[in-house]
Structure formats: structure tokens, C-alpha cells
Chain A
Amino acid sequence: MVRPRGTDGSLLASLPWTLLALAVSLVPHIQFLPFWITGAFVICAGWRYVMEKRRRPLPSTWFRALLALICFLGVLATYSSVSGVGPGSALLAIMAALKLLETRKRRDQFVLLFISIFLVMSSLLREQYLWSLPYLLGSVVLIMTAWLRMSAAKHETAGRSFRTGTRLVLYAVPLALAMWIFFPRIATPFWSVPIDTSQATSGLSDTMSPGDISSLSLSDEVAFRVAFDDTIPEPRQRYWRGLVLTRFNGRTWSGTDPIVGARAHEQVVVSGDPIGYEITLEATRQQWVFALDMPWTWDLSRTFMGPQQQLARAQPIDQRVAYKATSYPEYRTDVELSSFARDYYLRMQEGSNPRSLALARSMRATVGSEAAFIEAVLMKFHEEEYFYTLEPPPLGSDPVDRFMFETRQGFCEHYASAFAVMMRAAGIPSRVVLGYQGGEVNPLGGHMIVRQSDAHAWTEVWLDGVGWRRVDPTAAVAPDRIEIARSGSMFGGAGAAWGLSAPSALLHQLTLTWDAMNAKWNDWVLGYGPEKQDRFMEWLGMDDPDWRKMMLTLVALVVGLILLISVLLSLRYRPPTRDRAAVLYERFVKKAGVEPHTGETPAVFAVRAETESQIPAEAIQAVTTTYLDARYGPGGLAAMQRLESAVAAVHRQ
């Protein structure tokens, strides 16, 4: 059967709202979608609207099928997969665009609005910001208004539909809140589907090639936030261990894939006091999990310690995660090193960076011990003309040699790389650790913010009888970078350069406030998991909370709220209240204590009341005349007020 293709303008009132709902639910996806999908949607939406307006027929089935095939292949080509939020939202957007071209009836519009809801859902899976909640509420109101517009009467204005939609969504909010609080959270997912594999990773890269990139991006983006249990470690202890690079090919440092290290944790011997804290790590789409050097315990699921004491999770961090951890600033690790491992950490590309190797070997020959050699190299960085800069010149081939002898400018990566190379040249096993160093304490939230601009590279050297020891050559060049807790250096720097120190301080304050709000939001809304829920239930007075009790409470609350809403609704639909004048007059009759006869007029009643009741005749006359005026006369509001005062006067007696 061939479906009729004509449009008759019957959707003209509801179509703009459906389009608006779709557009709003698509907005958060636009930055992730390939340009052509957004373009296809906009074109289809506009085209469809024009078709409805001019009563044009819809495109033919063949045309639509061809278009659908092209778009599907396009999505496949772009994403090379159809699972996950990225390709999923792309497919939803395409479906919405194509469905528009065959939307003739309300049934089709239902499909469009369902797509719209799924688009909102998938945007929430991808990102959960502070403004995601108002966005979600707003888009639900819009979608429900569009829903109402589909069947609204011709005379029903869009404003009325919007108010009705808003009212119904508002009724649903307390229900949703009750369900949200009491719905039992579970810890482990049923199945694991990557949220979005199409997005670029953020944060640290897996390799380090000093000199290839000639400037370091100082992104102010938050890498993670830390809430310490009690003591906040000193700035010089704030080394957030990430990944470890062990192989150097003369130009690039690289690590091994994160594999479960045999006995890596057993190699660590800790002493002193532990530091307990909770990290809220932003999505990196990498496997690395950051913790204060040296991590001892952590409660992130499916996370293990690699052979170089780096933490990694089995699946990428594709959503913000929170985990508790403890670390010991004082530790020893790998006190014994097998000869195989020793060779591994000494391996270098022969022939590259010859001058640095020669320098290292000659320096090693002049000092007595390995410790003294390390000291000598650090002194060299400290005392000779080496500069810390975020924009060093590019280095080309033999980057270590060029850096050591020619440019002498660089940031942490240059120093860490050069230092590790010199150690290896002198026969000391070494490796490079990538992570973050520092962190700013937000006085408003009490937590520490570690930003992408705090990314850092340092080295570890292996000493006989000591094990791996952290050495940060950058500290020798720019001790400030390590020792001083950063406090708005970004803003201070930029602001000072523009001569805007005061506003920039204010700006910094605002940034900190916004950050504190975000931290609370992450903590209480996004991080409301099984443990927080249990704690909250206990705080509410629930003994030994379990899912049964929570479900029971949920059901009881939902039923109670529904009854309340039902009462509210029945109040909305009750007949209008009686005439105010009649109510007042009835009050007067009651006070008079005289039973009015059927059909008795107020005037006749007044005559009878004067003799039969205790109320003075003037008062009765006053009530009677004002009543007649207020109820039947043209007196309006003023007459009603006179009646009120007259009845009040009767009551005072």
C-alpha cells in the first residue's frame, strides 16, 4: 500500500514545538557530532517545516531510503562502530532528521519526541555539569509541551500548553526527588559499554618527546579534585603519581601497556603516617588512575598496580569517578633489582645524544658515589645557566644534547628526560614518572584542585640498598614550581601582564566559588552512590539500611505524594467557590439565630430578625442593604467590603 504523501498543514501548530524540542535536545551533542549530521538535521527540519507550510508532498519512499542508507554509511565511516554514546547520538540525530521527512501524523511525532528524550538521556551519559540539571528540566518541559501541542485544540494557545506542561512536570518533580533519593544504588554495572570512544583523550599523553612540541598548553581545566581526610600534605609532597615511562629511543620516552604487575605492591615498604583522601577524577578516556606518591590502598573497582607502581583501571576512565585512597609519603620500593630489570632500566639507544652520555660518564668518574653524582647533576642544572620556560625552542635530533649544551631552556619534561638519560649513562637505573605536581586548596570547599596545568614529569633513580628514589630535576632549576603552592598564578600572571590585578583577583575568587559549587555538585549529586546513600539513610534515621527498606520507603513516599497530587488535582477541578456575599450573609444568618423560611427574601427576613434576634435593628439593616448591593447591585468590590465590615460588626457584638 502506498502511503499518501501530501501534507495538509494539520501539523502546523505542533510541528514547530516538536522541532524546537528536538533542536534543544540536540544542542549538547553538536560539539561532538560531525558537522554533516547537524547540517542534515537543520536542513531536514527546515525543509519539513516549509513542506507543511506550503502543503507540499513529502519526499518519496525511494528517496528517503536512499538518504537513510547514505547517512547510515556516513555514521559507520565516521565512527567505525555503532555502539556507545558517540555513534548512538549520531544515529539518533540522523533518525530524527529522516523521520521528519516522513512525519505525517501524530504517531510519527510521538516517535520524534521519544528520540528527543533519548537524545537528552545520551547527553547526560556523556557529560554531567552543574547546568545539566536545569538543562534537563527545561528540555523535559519543552518536550512535554510539544507533546501537548500535538493534540491541543485549535483555540488553545501555545502559552497555555506551555503552562500546563510546566505544571505537570512540576507535579512530577517531588515524585522524582523521592525516587532519586531512595532508589537503591548498586555498585557494579551489569555490562560495560564504553560511553564514548570517539572523543579525544584529555590529560597526559602516553609518551614524552621533549622538544617535539615547543610549548606546553597550560589548560586551566580541572584534572581532579582531592578531599583530604585530615592533613593536607606539604606542597613538596604533592606528587600525584600517574604513569611511568621506562623506554627511551633517543628521542621519545614510552612506557609499557598497563599490565598487572606481579608483586608490584609487595615491593613497596611503607613507613610513617598514611594520608587518606578522596579523589574525584574527571574523565580522561585513559586508563591511568592518579594517586599521591606512593599509593597504598585505593577502592576504585578493577584498578590494579602496574609493575612500576603505576595505577591503572581495566577500562578507560570515560566518566568522572571518585575513589578513596591512602598514600605513604615515606616508602621504599624494589630494594632488590634483578640483573634483568637493571639492564632494562639502563637501556638506551646507542649513538644518540653522544655528548650528554660522555658528559655523564666523565662526571661520574670524578665523584665517589652514585648519590654524589646525582647531586652533581642537579647542581649543574641549578648553578649553570639552565632556564625554566614553558615555551622552549624546538630541539630536533639528539634532543638531549641540544638541550644540555645549546638551548638550555625547557620545562619539566626536558629536565626529567635529560636527567634520566644522564643517570642511565652513568650506570644508574632510572625512569620517568608522569603525573601532576602541586594543587591549589580551594578555601571555600576545603578541597584541593589539581589542574591540567599542574601536569609534571619527574624521575626515579634506583640506588643500591635504597630502591627507587624520586628525584625531581625541575626543582633544581625552578624550585618555586615545586615549593610554592600555586595560588592563582595563572590569573596573577595574565592579569599583571594586562595590568588588571584587582579584577583578576576577583575573577580568581569567582573561579574558586564556581569550583567549590562544582565540587559539592560532584560530591552530592553525581557521586550519590551506594555508600553515600547508606550514609544518608543512616542520617535520616534508617537503621542498617538495605535495598528492601529503601524500596519500601520509596513506594510509601511515592504513594503518599501521588495521593497529595490527586488531592491537589481534585481541588483544581472542584466547582467554583460560592459567592462571597452569600457566604457572608449566611454567617450573619447564623449569628442572628433565626431560621430563614424557604423563599424568604432578605428584606422580609430582616423584618423578622429585628424582632426575633438580639441583633440591633440598624446592624440588621446595614447587613441587608449592603448584601443586596453587593450581590445584586452594581456596587462591586466596594460594596463587598462594606458588607464584610457590616457582618464583622454584627459578629463583634
Chain B
Amino acid sequence: MSSIPWPFPSLGIKASLSAAASRRVLRWARKRQGIDPSVTQLRPGRVYILPTGVGLVFGLMAFAMLLGSMNYNNNLSFVLTFILAGIGFVSMHQCQRNLVGLELSFAGVEPVFAGQSAQFRVAITNHAKNPRHRIRLYTDTTISEIHDLLPGESKVFVLAVATEKRGRIPLERFGIRTLFPFELFRSWAWLHMSLSGLVYPHPADHAPQPPPTQIAHGHRQHDARGEEDFAGLRKFHEGDSPRHVAWKAYARSGQLLSKQFAGADTSSQWFDFNEVEADNTEARLSILTSWIINADRTREDYGLRIPGAEFPPSHGASHRRRCLETLALYGLDKRNG
């Protein structure tokens, strides 16, 4: 991802200097605004504005035209000059108003594997009776698509943040900005919703063979059991799948009963952190990740044993998520996790 400039036109200052200034300004804005709730409406006081490069050229041109008009005492070119100056002023206010009042709400981020980009989704709602033009979100490394928002419309903007390591990826700050109408000004707002996404370990590219499969004969009861043989009814317990509720029986007797099945033969395997043959923790986590993905893909049961946690063999999306989350956060500071 190429670096996206912050909303300061680079004025030819040394990069390190402007970076330092940028950091100071960001700290100031963060202190001034505090942490934003996950649904935030933009007040005028926090929408900042500065001229763009084009805007500076436009201003210089208007100034040159003013000098020319004064020199020739030409009243019509005065008119042209002042109309352009007026357009400058108007576009400044229009540019700021284009953001003020927008409502931003965090719409979630799906966990990704390290190396993929985390897609932070932010819904922006235009409550005004006029359309908003050319809106986009950005961070210092990434930028979203540009969208227009019709009156009352709500659209989801995606910020794809590149990831490198497993763990929580924080998005402390992102910005919303617009160049509308004439790109003479860039107005923007910073939001600090303290968002974070989960990054699973990168699945190992050449993982060794997983440990051998054990065949289990359905002595364990859980939702994921096979449904081959109906074995009878028992009293409904919280946690039983609604699919297994005997609705006909309920209609007759008014008593909730669950259908019991004789479990089919299920194969399951244990993935043990300590038994993975690898040099370091990260490599082990990568291999475990790779195993889990493969097992999940082939719909095999698997269990995970890792210092501090143990997940008995099972399958399904939530099992997979729990396991991968544990791997993602393994050994990381609780504060981050």
C-alpha cells in the first residue's frame, strides 16, 4: 500500500520536520476530541480544512489577476478576479459543510490471517436533505473508495488495513475527508473510535502432516454429532439446537423435548501446541493455524491444546473462531488482547 499523504499539502518542508509537526497536530486533535463512541456525528468544530495544492495555485492565480486588473484599471477583469475569489471562499464553506453532520458508525471488521488486510467497515449516514459528494475514509496507510451519499442514504466504507503480525490490530484513528466541490480545499475530520480487529496467525505454507486421526464412537454429545440414527426423546436442555426440538411432540403435549440421535462415527484429532515440531512459537502457531484451516475445510473434528487453554474436538464456525482467536492472542499481553 502506497503511503497516503495526511491532509497537509507538502509545502516543501523536510519530511522529518513535517512528520514531527503532523504527530504534534494529531496528538493535539486526539486530546481535544477524546475517544469517540462507535456512532459519532460530525460537529462543525472538529471538521478541519486547509487548501490543497490546486487551491494554492488557484489563490496565486487570483492574486496575479488582481495585480493585472489593478495595473490596467480594468473593471471587468476586477469582476472576474473577485468572482474567482468569491468562489474560493464559497468552496471553502461548501467543502466543510459537505462533512458536517455526517454520522459515522463502526460496522465491524472480520478477523483475517496475518498478511491479509483487515477490512474495517464504517457506515456513513447522510441525515441531510441534500446529497454529500466525494466522501472517503482514510488512515495514514490506506484509503477507501470514494462515494456520494444521497439524502438519507447510508453506505459502508471499507478501510483495508494491511496486517503483518497476529494479534489485535488497533485502528486508533481514521479520517474522513472530501475535496468537493473544486478540490481547492481539503476538509477532514479525525475519529478515534479505538477500533481493533483480530489477526490470526499466518497459516504455514508447508505445514507438516497433522497428528493421526482418532476414531470416536459418539460417546460425546454435542450439537455437531451426526443425525443418522434417531435414538429417542429427552427433556429439552438449554443449548440444544432448535433443529432437534421435537416440535410435533411439543404441539401435542406442550412439553419441550429434544430428539436424541445415536452419534455416527466421527473422526477427531488433537492439535497440541507442545507436540508441534517447529523452532519457535510463531512457527508452531502458524502450523496449528494451517491444520485448523485444513481440518475445518474437510469438516473433521479437531481439538486444540495449548498452554492455558484446551478445546475438545469439535467442528463448525464458532469452534474454528475460538481456536484461531486463541492462537492469535497466544502469549500476547492481556492489555492488547
Instruction: Please list the residues of chain A having a beta carbon within 8 angstroms of any beta carbon in chain B.
Output: 110, 114, 117-118, 120-121, 124-125, 128, 132-133, 136-137, 140, 144, 147-148, 150-153, 155-156, 164, 168-169, 171-177, 179-180, 183, 185-187, 189-191, 193, 195, 319, 525-529, 558, 562, 565-566, 569-570, 572-576
**How many angstroms between the C-alpha atoms of A242 and B151 in the bound complex?**
68
Contact A319 B85 (CB under 8 A): no
Instruction: Please list the residues of chain B having a beta carbon within 8 angstroms of any beta carbon in chain A.
Output: 54, 57-58, 61, 65, 67-68, 70-80, 82-87, 89-91, 93-94, 97, 100-101, 127-130, 133-134, 146-148, 151-152, 179-183
Contact B181 A133 (CB under 8 A): no
**How many angstroms between the C-alpha atoms of A140 and B81 in the bound complex?**
11
Total number of residue pairs linking A and B with CB closer than 8 Å: 158
Partner of A558 from the list B61, B77, B89, B130 (CB cut-off 8 Å) is B89
Contact A562 B76 (CB under 8 A): no
A contact residues around B128 at 8 Å (CB): 572-576
Question: Taking chain A's interface residues, is the majority helix, strand, or loop, or is none over half, making it mixed?
Answer: helix
Contact B89 A175 (CB under 8 A): yes
Partner of A151 from the list B72, B89, B134 (CB cut-off 8 Å) is B134
Contact B93 A175 (CB under 8 A): no
Contact B93 A565 (CB under 8 A): yes
B contact residues around A124 at 8 Å (CB): 74, 76-77, 80
Q: Say yes or no: A155-B148 contact (C-beta < 8 A), given A121-B80, A128-B76, A180-B79.
A: yes
CB-nearest residue of chain B relative to A184? B70
B contact residues around A174 at 8 Å (CB): 86
Contact A148 B181 (CB under 8 A): yes
A contact residues around B67 at 8 Å (CB): 190
Contact B72 A319 (CB under 8 A): yes
**How many angstroms between the C-alpha atoms of A118 and B81 in the bound complex?**
10
* Minimum distance in angstroms from A577 CB to a CB of chain B: 8
CB-nearest residue of chain A relative to B97? A569
* Minimum distance in angstroms from B98 CB to a CB of chain A: 8
* Minimum distance in angstroms from B58 CB to a CB of chain A: 8
**How many angstroms between the C-alpha atoms of A173 and B85 in the bound complex?**
10
CB-nearest residue of chain B relative to A573? B128
Contact A172 B87 (CB under 8 A): yes
**How many angstroms between the C-alpha atoms of A117 and B77 in the bound complex?**
11
Contact B77 A121 (CB under 8 A): yes
Q: Say yes or no: A576-B151 contact (C-beta < 8 A), given A151-B180, A175-B85, A179-B82.
A: yes
A contact residues around B72 at 8 Å (CB): 125, 189, 195, 319
CB-nearest residue of chain B relative to A155? B148
Q: Shortest 7 CB-CB distances between A and B: which pairs?
A: A172-B86, A175-B86, A176-B82, A179-B82, A573-B128, A176-B83, A576-B129
Contact B134 A168 (CB under 8 A): no
Q: Say yes or no: A525-B68 contact (C-beta < 8 A), given A172-B83, A565-B93.
A: no
Contact A136 B76 (CB under 8 A): yes
B contact residues around A150 at 8 Å (CB): 183
Partner of B70 from the list A190, A527, A528 (CB cut-off 8 Å) is A190
* Minimum distance in angstroms from B332 CB to a CB of chain A: 42
B contact residues around A117 at 8 Å (CB): 61, 80, 84
**How many angstroms between the C-alpha atoms of A527 and B129 in the bound complex?**
45
CB-nearest residue of chain B relative to A164? B181
* Minimum distance in angstroms from A178 CB to a CB of chain B: 8
B contact residues around A529 at 8 Å (CB): 73
Contact B73 A114 (CB under 8 A): no
* Minimum distance in angstroms from A545 CB to a CB of chain B: 18
Contact B94 A168 (CB under 8 A): yes
**How many angstroms between the C-alpha atoms of A576 and B101 in the bound complex?**
12
